[in-house]
Amino acid sequence: MYILKEAFYSLQGEGAQTGRPAIFCRFSGCNLWNGKESSRNNAICNFCDTDIIGSDGINGGKFKNDAQLVSHILNLWPDSDTPAYIIFTGGEPALQITQSLIDLFKSKNCILAIETNGTIPLPQNIDWVCVSPKGKSEVILSNCNELKLVYPQVDALPARFETIKADYYFISPKNPLGTNSIISNENSSLTQCLQYCLDNPKWRLSLQTHKILNID
């Protein structure tokens, strides 16, 4: 059984694939926060910008098996001539995805990506892996396509993750909760990110462009 919070078609807003049309497949639940505001301050990850509980979002629901979820998701792709690009996110998608789900999507010619906190092993054959480390949690993945670290986090500074192999190293300003003010002057996270990249050119800036554009 898969529990999906929501699914929607939009553009990837972050990282090296920014601007790419994608279906976001948002699984419910996370191992680093239970999703309740009353628990946020004690959570390992305490700045999450997403509602990660339940199955009540757009195109959300419970799916009994791989085939039901795959057909539900592929219905959202608009063009049969272009392979569907699907981003598993959440919540923590690695809690729910299975090898058989990946295999079925791949048999339908899909290109698969994941946004993960990196603390849980992944199935094989995901085409684009984005690891985003959180607080004191231990990242167990040693390889990815992009490492995309929310900055600043006192318990997760960039240098700690440079041993993880990645094609790209990004830092992304921590978006103040309840706002979309990533590019306002008051956002000191952005100012700190700019300076960090200038001082440490291994790292590039990633912005949550969907929040700037006010799209999903």
Ligand X SMILES: C[S@@+](CC[C@H](N)C(=O)[O-])C[C@H]1O[C@@H](n2cnc3c(N)ncnc32)[C@H](O)[C@@H]1O
Ligand Y SMILES: Nc1nc2[nH]cc(C(=O)O)c2c(=O)[nH]1
Residues marked as catalytic: 24, 30, 45, 48-50, 115, 210
Give the CA diameter of the chain.
50
Residues at the site binding ligand X, with contacts judged by CB under 6 A: 30, 47-50, 89-90, 92, 115-117, 132, 148, 150, 172, 174-175, 208
In the region spanning residues 63 to 82, those forming contacts with ligand SF4, defined by CB under 6 A, are none
**Among the listed residues 2, 7, 12, 134, the single contact to ligand Y using CB under 6 A:** 12
114 to 2, 22, 206: CA distances (angstroms): 16, 11, 16
The verdict on 172 binding ligand SF4 (CB under 6 A) reads no
**Among the listed residues 50, 68, 180, 181, the single contact to ligand SF4 using CB under 6 A:** 50
Comparing CA positions, the residue from 35, 12, 60 lying closest to residue 216 is 12
Say which entry of ligand Y, ligand X, ligand SF4, none residue 148 contacts (CB below 5 to 8 A, set by partner kind): ligand X
Contacts for 55 with CB less than 8 Å, ≥ 6 apart:
3, 4, 5, 28, 61, 62
Residues that bind ligand SF4 in the complex, under the rule CB under 6 A: 30, 32-33, 45, 48, 50, 52, 90-92, 117, 134
Note the residues at the interface with ligand Y (CB under 6 A): 10-14, 24, 50, 89, 115, 210, 216
